[in-house]
Amino acid sequence: MGTSIPQGSFVQHIVWGSLELHHYLDALAVVRATAPDQPAILNRPHAAARAARFFVEKFPGRTLYAVKANPSPNLIRLLWDAGVTHYDVASIGETRLVRRLLPEATLCFMHPVKAPAAIVEAYRDHGVRTFSLDSIEELDKIRAATTEANGGVEPTDLILCVRLRVSSEFSELSLASKFGCDLADARDLLQAARQLADSLGICFHVGSQAMTPFAYVTALEKVRAAIVDAAVTVDIIDVGGGFPSIYPGMEPPPLEDFFALIDRTYESLPVSYSAELWCEPGRALSAEYNSIIVRVERRRGNELYINDGAYGALFDAAHVGWRFPVQVLRSAPTAAETAAFSFYGPTCDDMDHMAGPFELPADIAAGDYIEIGMLGAYGAAMKTAFNGFEANEVYQVADEPMASLYRGVHRDPRVSDNVVSLR
Ligand SMILES: *Cc1c(COP(=O)(O)O)cnc(C)c1O
Protein backbone atom coordinates (compact mmCIF):
# COMPACT_ATOMS: atom_id res chain seq x y z
CA MET A 1 0.00 0.00 0.00
CA GLY A 2 1.00 3.61 -0.38
CA THR A 3 1.30 6.03 2.44
CA SER A 4 -1.38 8.55 3.27
CA ILE A 5 0.09 11.91 4.00
CA PRO A 6 -1.46 15.31 4.38
CA GLN A 7 -0.20 17.80 1.80
CA GLY A 8 0.30 21.50 1.56
CA SER A 9 3.36 22.59 3.48
CA PHE A 10 7.10 22.24 3.40
CA VAL A 11 7.07 20.22 6.59
CA GLN A 12 4.82 17.70 4.94
CA HIS A 13 6.96 17.68 1.83
CA ILE A 14 9.88 16.80 4.05
CA VAL A 15 7.87 13.91 5.43
CA TRP A 16 7.43 12.76 1.83
CA GLY A 17 11.13 12.94 1.24
CA SER A 18 11.94 10.48 3.96
CA LEU A 19 9.48 7.87 2.77
CA GLU A 20 10.40 4.75 0.92
CA LEU A 21 7.89 4.82 -1.91
CA HIS A 22 6.28 1.73 -3.36
CA HIS A 23 7.25 1.10 -6.97
CA TYR A 24 4.89 0.12 -9.79
CA LEU A 25 5.20 -0.17 -13.53
CA ASP A 26 2.56 2.44 -14.33
CA ALA A 27 -0.70 4.07 -13.24
CA LEU A 28 -2.82 1.05 -14.18
CA ALA A 29 -0.66 -1.19 -11.99
CA VAL A 30 -1.22 1.21 -9.08
CA VAL A 31 -4.99 1.09 -9.61
CA ARG A 32 -5.00 -2.71 -9.86
CA ALA A 33 -2.94 -3.11 -6.71
CA THR A 34 -4.44 -0.43 -4.49
CA ALA A 35 -7.74 0.91 -5.95
CA PRO A 36 -6.91 4.23 -4.25
CA ASP A 37 -9.74 6.03 -2.45
CA GLN A 38 -7.74 9.25 -2.51
CA PRO A 39 -5.89 10.93 -5.34
CA ALA A 40 -2.53 9.28 -5.92
CA ILE A 41 0.56 11.22 -6.94
CA LEU A 42 2.93 9.32 -9.22
CA ASN A 43 6.65 10.19 -9.26
CA ARG A 44 8.79 9.57 -12.34
CA PRO A 45 12.36 10.16 -11.20
CA HIS A 46 13.82 8.95 -14.50
CA ALA A 47 11.95 11.70 -16.38
CA ALA A 48 13.11 14.50 -14.08
CA ALA A 49 16.70 13.23 -14.12
CA ARG A 50 16.62 13.18 -17.93
CA ALA A 51 15.39 16.78 -18.02
CA ALA A 52 18.12 17.85 -15.59
CA ARG A 53 20.86 16.12 -17.57
CA PHE A 54 19.55 17.78 -20.73
CA PHE A 55 19.85 21.27 -19.22
CA VAL A 56 23.19 20.55 -17.55
CA GLU A 57 24.66 19.23 -20.81
CA LYS A 58 23.02 21.47 -23.39
CA PHE A 59 22.21 24.85 -21.88
CA PRO A 60 25.18 27.08 -22.80
CA GLY A 61 25.65 28.28 -19.21
CA ARG A 62 24.59 27.47 -15.66
CA THR A 63 21.20 25.99 -14.74
CA LEU A 64 19.46 26.96 -11.48
CA TYR A 65 16.37 24.97 -10.50
CA ALA A 66 13.46 27.28 -9.53
CA VAL A 67 12.30 25.42 -6.43
CA LYS A 68 8.79 26.89 -6.30
CA ALA A 69 7.70 24.82 -9.32
CA ASN A 70 7.96 21.67 -7.18
CA PRO A 71 9.73 21.59 -3.80
CA SER A 72 9.47 17.83 -3.28
CA PRO A 73 12.66 16.69 -1.50
CA ASN A 74 12.95 13.56 -3.64
CA LEU A 75 12.95 15.75 -6.74
CA ILE A 76 15.48 18.23 -5.34
CA ARG A 77 17.86 15.41 -4.41
CA LEU A 78 17.60 13.74 -7.79
CA LEU A 79 18.22 17.02 -9.62
CA TRP A 80 21.39 17.40 -7.54
CA ASP A 81 22.43 13.86 -8.42
CA ALA A 82 21.86 14.69 -12.09
CA GLY A 83 24.24 17.66 -11.88
CA VAL A 84 22.11 20.68 -10.90
CA THR A 85 24.22 22.49 -8.28
CA HIS A 86 22.41 25.87 -8.07
CA TYR A 87 18.89 26.50 -6.76
CA ASP A 88 16.65 29.56 -7.18
CA VAL A 89 14.85 30.01 -3.85
CA ALA A 90 12.20 32.66 -3.30
CA SER A 91 11.47 32.51 0.43
CA ILE A 92 13.24 31.68 3.66
CA GLY A 93 11.18 28.46 3.77
CA GLU A 94 12.59 27.31 0.42
CA THR A 95 16.07 28.41 1.51
CA ARG A 96 15.94 26.30 4.69
CA LEU A 97 14.46 23.34 2.83
CA VAL A 98 17.13 23.18 0.13
CA ARG A 99 19.96 23.89 2.56
CA ARG A 100 18.82 21.02 4.79
CA LEU A 101 18.64 18.65 1.83
CA LEU A 102 21.77 19.80 0.01
CA PRO A 103 24.45 21.25 2.31
CA GLU A 104 26.77 22.00 -0.61
CA ALA A 105 24.33 23.53 -3.09
CA THR A 106 24.58 27.18 -4.11
CA LEU A 107 21.37 28.99 -3.21
CA CYS A 108 20.28 32.18 -4.98
CA PHE A 109 17.53 34.26 -3.38
CA MET A 110 15.76 35.50 -6.51
CA HIS A 111 12.59 37.10 -5.11
CA PRO A 112 12.93 40.85 -5.70
CA VAL A 113 10.91 41.78 -2.57
CA LYS A 114 12.25 40.10 0.57
CA ALA A 115 11.72 40.40 4.31
CA PRO A 116 14.80 41.89 6.04
CA ALA A 117 14.97 38.98 8.50
CA ALA A 118 14.93 36.52 5.59
CA ILE A 119 17.96 38.24 4.03
CA VAL A 120 19.82 38.20 7.36
CA GLU A 121 19.17 34.50 7.94
CA ALA A 122 19.92 33.56 4.32
CA TYR A 123 23.28 35.37 4.36
CA ARG A 124 24.35 34.44 7.89
CA ASP A 125 23.04 30.90 8.33
CA HIS A 126 22.67 29.46 4.81
CA GLY A 127 25.60 30.98 2.90
CA VAL A 128 23.41 32.82 0.40
CA ARG A 129 25.36 35.51 -1.49
CA THR A 130 23.15 35.99 -4.56
CA PHE A 131 20.10 38.22 -4.24
CA SER A 132 17.82 39.78 -6.85
CA LEU A 133 16.26 43.24 -6.64
CA ASP A 134 14.23 45.62 -8.75
CA SER A 135 14.29 48.86 -6.74
CA ILE A 136 16.62 51.19 -4.83
CA GLU A 137 14.61 50.44 -1.68
CA GLU A 138 15.42 46.72 -2.01
CA LEU A 139 19.08 47.54 -2.61
CA ASP A 140 19.15 49.57 0.62
CA LYS A 141 17.39 46.72 2.42
CA ILE A 142 19.93 44.17 1.14
CA ARG A 143 22.81 46.45 2.15
CA ALA A 144 21.46 46.92 5.69
CA ALA A 145 20.47 43.28 6.24
CA THR A 146 23.68 41.74 4.91
CA THR A 147 25.77 44.27 6.87
CA GLU A 148 23.92 43.18 10.01
CA ALA A 149 24.40 39.51 9.08
CA ASN A 150 28.11 40.18 8.47
CA GLY A 151 28.69 41.50 12.00
CA GLY A 152 28.26 45.19 11.17
CA VAL A 153 30.67 45.26 8.24
CA GLU A 154 29.37 45.85 4.72
CA PRO A 155 29.97 42.61 2.81
CA THR A 156 32.27 42.50 -0.22
CA ASP A 157 31.04 39.17 -1.57
CA LEU A 158 27.53 39.98 -2.81
CA ILE A 159 26.22 38.88 -6.18
CA LEU A 160 23.33 41.20 -7.03
CA CYS A 161 20.98 40.58 -9.94
CA VAL A 162 18.86 43.51 -11.10
CA ARG A 163 15.51 42.22 -12.38
CA LEU A 164 14.41 43.95 -15.56
CA ARG A 165 10.76 44.06 -16.58
CA VAL A 166 10.30 42.37 -19.94
CA SER A 167 7.30 41.49 -22.06
CA SER A 168 5.30 38.31 -21.42
CA GLU A 169 3.71 38.46 -24.87
CA PHE A 170 5.17 35.13 -25.99
CA SER A 171 4.18 33.17 -22.86
CA GLU A 172 1.06 31.44 -21.63
CA LEU A 173 1.32 32.85 -18.09
CA SER A 174 2.39 36.47 -17.64
CA LEU A 175 4.99 37.50 -15.09
CA ALA A 176 5.27 41.05 -16.42
CA SER A 177 3.25 43.17 -14.05
CA LYS A 178 4.46 42.34 -10.57
CA PHE A 179 8.25 42.50 -10.66
CA GLY A 180 10.95 44.13 -12.70
CA CYS A 181 12.53 47.52 -13.04
CA ASP A 182 11.55 49.54 -16.14
CA LEU A 183 14.27 50.29 -18.63
CA ALA A 184 13.94 54.00 -17.81
CA ASP A 185 14.94 53.35 -14.18
CA ALA A 186 17.52 50.65 -14.87
CA ARG A 187 20.50 52.98 -15.28
CA ASP A 188 20.31 54.40 -11.74
CA LEU A 189 19.63 51.01 -10.19
CA LEU A 190 22.42 49.22 -12.08
CA GLN A 191 24.92 51.94 -11.18
CA ALA A 192 23.90 51.88 -7.51
CA ALA A 193 23.95 48.07 -7.36
CA ARG A 194 27.39 48.03 -9.02
CA GLN A 195 28.75 50.02 -6.03
CA LEU A 196 27.69 47.33 -3.54
CA ALA A 197 28.05 44.18 -5.64
CA ASP A 198 31.14 42.06 -6.09
CA SER A 199 29.40 40.57 -9.14
CA LEU A 200 26.57 42.35 -10.92
CA GLY A 201 23.91 40.49 -12.87
CA ILE A 202 20.83 41.34 -14.89
CA CYS A 203 17.91 38.93 -14.72
CA PHE A 204 14.39 38.79 -16.12
CA HIS A 205 11.49 36.39 -16.54
CA VAL A 206 9.71 36.16 -19.89
CA GLY A 207 6.61 34.53 -18.34
CA SER A 208 5.91 30.85 -17.86
CA GLN A 209 5.53 28.42 -20.76
CA ALA A 210 7.22 30.63 -23.37
CA MET A 211 6.14 29.25 -26.73
CA THR A 212 8.97 30.70 -28.84
CA PRO A 213 12.68 31.39 -28.32
CA PHE A 214 12.14 34.93 -29.57
CA ALA A 215 10.74 35.72 -26.11
CA TYR A 216 14.33 35.48 -24.86
CA VAL A 217 15.84 37.32 -27.83
CA THR A 218 13.47 40.26 -27.28
CA ALA A 219 14.26 40.32 -23.57
CA LEU A 220 18.03 40.12 -24.18
CA GLU A 221 17.80 43.11 -26.52
CA LYS A 222 16.30 45.04 -23.62
CA VAL A 223 19.20 43.87 -21.47
CA ARG A 224 21.59 45.18 -24.12
CA ALA A 225 19.92 48.60 -24.01
CA ALA A 226 20.14 48.68 -20.21
CA ILE A 227 23.85 47.79 -20.20
CA VAL A 228 24.70 50.39 -22.83
CA ASP A 229 22.68 53.07 -21.07
CA ALA A 230 24.14 52.37 -17.62
CA ALA A 231 27.70 51.83 -18.88
CA VAL A 232 28.46 49.39 -16.08
CA THR A 233 30.38 46.11 -16.12
CA VAL A 234 27.94 43.20 -16.04
CA ASP A 235 29.13 39.78 -14.88
CA ILE A 236 25.98 37.64 -15.12
CA ILE A 237 23.10 37.46 -17.56
CA ASP A 238 20.27 35.40 -16.09
CA VAL A 239 17.53 34.60 -18.60
CA GLY A 240 15.23 33.26 -15.85
CA GLY A 241 12.61 30.57 -16.26
CA GLY A 242 9.81 30.24 -18.78
CA PHE A 243 11.19 27.24 -20.67
CA PRO A 244 8.14 25.31 -21.84
CA SER A 245 6.88 21.83 -21.31
CA ILE A 246 4.44 20.06 -23.60
CA TYR A 247 0.65 19.95 -23.10
CA PRO A 248 -2.34 19.32 -25.37
CA GLY A 249 -2.62 22.30 -27.71
CA MET A 250 0.76 23.65 -26.56
CA GLU A 251 3.62 22.06 -28.44
CA PRO A 252 6.69 24.26 -28.32
CA PRO A 253 9.70 24.08 -30.64
CA PRO A 254 12.62 21.95 -29.37
CA LEU A 255 14.52 23.34 -26.38
CA GLU A 256 17.70 23.20 -28.47
CA ASP A 257 16.24 26.06 -30.53
CA PHE A 258 15.76 28.12 -27.37
CA PHE A 259 19.31 27.40 -26.24
CA ALA A 260 20.84 28.23 -29.63
CA LEU A 261 19.11 31.60 -29.94
CA ILE A 262 19.83 32.53 -26.32
CA ASP A 263 23.50 31.62 -26.80
CA ARG A 264 23.85 33.61 -30.00
CA THR A 265 22.20 36.72 -28.55
CA TYR A 266 24.11 36.46 -25.27
CA GLU A 267 27.43 36.19 -27.11
CA SER A 268 26.75 39.55 -28.78
CA LEU A 269 26.10 41.43 -25.51
CA PRO A 270 28.60 43.97 -24.14
CA VAL A 271 29.41 42.07 -20.93
CA SER A 272 32.69 41.40 -19.13
CA TYR A 273 35.01 38.84 -20.75
CA SER A 274 34.45 36.48 -17.82
CA ALA A 275 30.66 36.90 -17.74
CA GLU A 276 28.37 33.96 -17.03
CA LEU A 277 25.04 32.99 -18.56
CA TRP A 278 22.42 31.58 -16.16
CA CYS A 279 18.91 30.22 -16.49
CA GLU A 280 16.28 29.34 -13.86
CA PRO A 281 13.92 26.68 -15.23
CA GLY A 282 11.14 25.48 -12.94
CA ARG A 283 8.49 24.01 -15.20
CA ALA A 284 10.87 22.46 -17.74
CA LEU A 285 12.72 20.49 -15.06
CA SER A 286 9.68 19.33 -13.08
CA ALA A 287 6.63 19.01 -15.36
CA GLU A 288 7.32 15.41 -16.36
CA TYR A 289 8.04 14.31 -12.77
CA ASN A 290 4.41 13.82 -11.66
CA SER A 291 1.04 12.67 -12.84
CA ILE A 292 -1.95 11.96 -10.63
CA ILE A 293 -4.60 9.27 -10.48
CA VAL A 294 -8.11 10.53 -9.69
CA ARG A 295 -11.38 8.64 -9.36
CA VAL A 296 -14.71 9.60 -10.86
CA GLU A 297 -17.16 9.84 -7.94
CA ARG A 298 -20.14 10.91 -9.99
CA ARG A 299 -21.11 11.62 -13.59
CA ARG A 300 -23.70 14.29 -14.49
CA GLY A 301 -24.06 14.48 -18.26
CA ASN A 302 -20.62 15.36 -19.55
CA GLU A 303 -19.44 16.67 -16.18
CA LEU A 304 -17.29 14.36 -14.08
CA TYR A 305 -17.00 14.86 -10.32
CA ILE A 306 -13.46 13.74 -9.50
CA ASN A 307 -11.56 13.61 -6.21
CA ASP A 308 -8.91 16.24 -6.98
CA GLY A 309 -9.33 19.77 -8.30
CA ALA A 310 -8.60 23.48 -8.15
CA TYR A 311 -7.50 23.33 -4.51
CA GLY A 312 -5.50 20.19 -5.21
CA ALA A 313 -3.08 19.57 -8.05
CA LEU A 314 -5.33 21.11 -10.73
CA PHE A 315 -5.05 24.85 -9.96
CA ASP A 316 -3.91 25.73 -13.49
CA ALA A 317 -6.61 23.58 -15.08
CA ALA A 318 -9.21 25.56 -13.12
CA HIS A 319 -7.83 29.07 -13.08
CA VAL A 320 -6.04 29.40 -16.40
CA GLY A 321 -7.92 26.76 -18.38
CA TRP A 322 -4.83 24.61 -18.83
CA ARG A 323 -5.60 21.30 -20.56
CA PHE A 324 -3.58 18.47 -19.12
CA PRO A 325 -3.41 15.12 -20.93
CA VAL A 326 -5.79 12.46 -19.56
CA GLN A 327 -6.35 8.74 -19.99
CA VAL A 328 -8.82 6.34 -18.43
CA LEU A 329 -7.27 3.47 -16.44
CA ARG A 330 -9.15 0.26 -17.22
CA SER A 331 -7.87 -3.28 -17.35
CA ALA A 332 -9.97 -4.14 -20.40
CA PRO A 333 -9.52 -2.08 -23.56
CA THR A 334 -12.19 0.58 -24.01
CA ALA A 335 -14.43 1.17 -26.99
CA ALA A 336 -12.70 3.75 -29.19
CA GLU A 337 -15.44 6.36 -29.09
CA THR A 338 -14.65 9.37 -26.93
CA ALA A 339 -16.53 12.45 -25.76
CA ALA A 340 -15.53 15.82 -24.30
CA PHE A 341 -15.85 16.16 -20.51
CA SER A 342 -15.33 18.87 -17.91
CA PHE A 343 -14.33 18.15 -14.30
CA TYR A 344 -15.58 19.26 -10.91
CA GLY A 345 -13.15 18.92 -7.99
CA PRO A 346 -14.17 17.53 -4.60
CA THR A 347 -14.66 20.77 -2.62
CA CYS A 348 -18.02 22.48 -2.21
CA ASP A 349 -16.85 25.54 -4.14
CA ASP A 350 -18.29 26.30 -7.60
CA MET A 351 -14.87 27.57 -8.67
CA ASP A 352 -13.55 24.05 -8.21
CA HIS A 353 -14.25 23.47 -11.90
CA MET A 354 -11.94 22.48 -14.75
CA ALA A 355 -13.46 23.29 -18.14
CA GLY A 356 -11.09 21.18 -20.23
CA PRO A 357 -12.37 19.85 -22.54
CA PHE A 358 -10.93 16.47 -21.56
CA GLU A 359 -11.44 13.68 -24.10
CA LEU A 360 -12.39 10.40 -22.41
CA PRO A 361 -14.36 7.27 -23.34
CA ALA A 362 -18.02 8.16 -23.77
CA ASP A 363 -19.08 5.41 -21.33
CA ILE A 364 -16.96 6.68 -18.43
CA ALA A 365 -18.76 6.29 -15.11
CA ALA A 366 -18.45 6.65 -11.36
CA GLY A 367 -15.73 4.33 -10.10
CA ASP A 368 -13.48 4.77 -13.15
CA TYR A 369 -9.94 5.98 -12.54
CA ILE A 370 -8.27 8.64 -14.70
CA GLU A 371 -4.59 9.49 -14.96
CA ILE A 372 -3.92 13.21 -15.45
CA GLY A 373 -0.43 13.81 -16.79
CA MET A 374 2.26 16.50 -16.74
CA LEU A 375 1.47 17.77 -13.23
CA GLY A 376 5.01 17.99 -11.86
CA ALA A 377 5.19 21.76 -12.31
CA TYR A 378 2.80 23.90 -10.27
CA GLY A 379 0.54 20.86 -9.78
CA ALA A 380 1.61 18.55 -6.99
CA ALA A 381 3.21 21.60 -5.32
CA MET A 382 -0.05 23.56 -5.13
CA LYS A 383 -2.24 21.18 -3.13
CA THR A 384 -4.06 22.64 -0.14
CA ALA A 385 -6.06 21.09 2.68
CA PHE A 386 -9.20 23.14 1.83
CA ASN A 387 -12.44 21.41 2.76
CA GLY A 388 -10.58 18.45 4.24
CA PHE A 389 -9.42 17.04 0.90
CA GLU A 390 -5.78 16.93 1.77
CA ALA A 391 -4.74 13.32 1.83
CA ASN A 392 -3.21 11.48 -1.04
CA GLU A 393 -0.96 8.57 -1.73
CA VAL A 394 2.44 8.75 -3.44
CA TYR A 395 3.94 6.03 -5.61
CA GLN A 396 6.91 5.71 -7.93
CA VAL A 397 6.28 4.48 -11.46
CA ALA A 398 8.66 3.45 -14.21
CA ASP A 399 6.78 4.18 -17.43
CA GLU A 400 7.14 7.28 -19.61
CA PRO A 401 5.27 10.51 -18.87
CA MET A 402 2.29 11.16 -21.18
CA ALA A 403 4.44 13.58 -23.16
CA SER A 404 8.08 14.58 -23.08
CA LEU A 405 10.33 17.23 -24.54
CA TYR A 406 13.34 15.05 -23.81
CA ARG A 407 12.57 11.87 -25.71
CA GLY A 408 13.66 11.71 -29.28
CA VAL A 409 11.20 8.94 -30.10
CA HIS A 410 7.46 8.60 -30.35
CA ARG A 411 5.65 6.37 -27.92
CA ASP A 412 2.25 4.94 -28.49
CA PRO A 413 0.76 7.92 -30.32
CA ARG A 414 -2.95 7.99 -29.49
CA VAL A 415 -5.72 9.28 -31.68
CA SER A 416 -7.25 11.50 -29.05
CA ASP A 417 -6.13 15.11 -28.93
CA ASN A 418 -5.64 14.66 -25.19
CA VAL A 419 -2.26 13.41 -26.09
CA VAL A 420 0.21 15.64 -27.79
CA SER A 421 1.87 14.37 -30.90
CA LEU A 422 5.62 14.28 -30.70
CA ARG A 423 8.13 15.13 -33.34
C1 LIG B 1 8.71 31.11 -11.13
C2 LIG B 1 10.10 31.57 -11.40
C3 LIG B 1 10.97 30.79 -12.18
C4 LIG B 1 10.53 29.50 -12.85
O5 LIG B 1 9.68 29.78 -13.90
P6 LIG B 1 9.21 28.60 -14.93
O7 LIG B 1 8.30 29.31 -15.85
O8 LIG B 1 8.57 27.57 -14.10
O9 LIG B 1 10.44 28.10 -15.60
C10 LIG B 1 12.26 31.23 -12.38
N11 LIG B 1 12.69 32.40 -11.84
C12 LIG B 1 11.88 33.18 -11.08
C13 LIG B 1 12.43 34.44 -10.51
C14 LIG B 1 10.56 32.80 -10.85
O15 LIG B 1 9.76 33.59 -10.12
Structure confidence by residue, pLDDT tens digits, 55-80: 999 999 999 999 999 999 999 999 99
Q: Which of 16, 17, 40 is nearest to 29 (CA)?
A: 40
- The structure's pTM equals 0.92
CA 174 to centroid of ligand 1, rounded, Å: 11
Do 359 and 312 lie in a common domain? yes
Residues 166 and 223 in one domain: yes
Average pLDDT taken over every residue of the chain: 91
Whether residue 88 is contained in a domain is answered as: no
In a domain, 403, yes or no: no
278 lines ligand 1 (CB under 6 A): no
CATH number at residue 122: 3.20.20.10
Residue to mutate, 62, 63, 68, ligand 1, most ligand atoms under 8 Å from C-beta: 68
In terms of domains, do 297 and 269 share one? Answer: no
Number of domains in the chain: 2
Q: Are residues 222 and 368 in the same domain?
A: no
Predicted confidence band of residue 302 (pLDDT cuts 50, 70, 90): very high
Is residue 413 pLDDT above 70, yes or no? no
The Cα–Cα gap between 377 and 173 comes to 13
Per the structure, the complete domain to which residue 341 belongs is given by 13-45+289-397
Residues 264 and 298 in one domain: no
The residue whose CB lies within 8 Å of the most ligand 1 atoms, and thus the one to mutate among 64, 177, 250, 280, is 280
Q: pLDDT (tens digit, 9 = 90+) per residue, 248-286?
A: 999 999 999 999 999 999 999 999 889 999 999 999 999
Q: Whose CA is nearest to atom 9 of ligand 1?
A: 241
CA of 19 to the centre of ligand 1 (A): 28
Q: Which whole number is the average pLDDT over 233-239?
A: 98
Query: What are the contacts of 262-269 at 24+ separation with CB within 8 A?
Result: 262/60, 262/213, 262/216, 262/217, 262/220, 263/60, 265/216, 265/217, 265/220, 265/221, 266/60, 266/61, 266/220, 266/237, 266/239, 268/224, 269/220, 269/223, 269/224, 269/227, 269/234, 269/237
Looking at the structure, tell me whether residues 319 and 237 fall in a common domain: no
- Best mutation site among 59, 168, 170, 208 for ligand 1 pocket (most ligand atoms within 8 Å of CB): 208
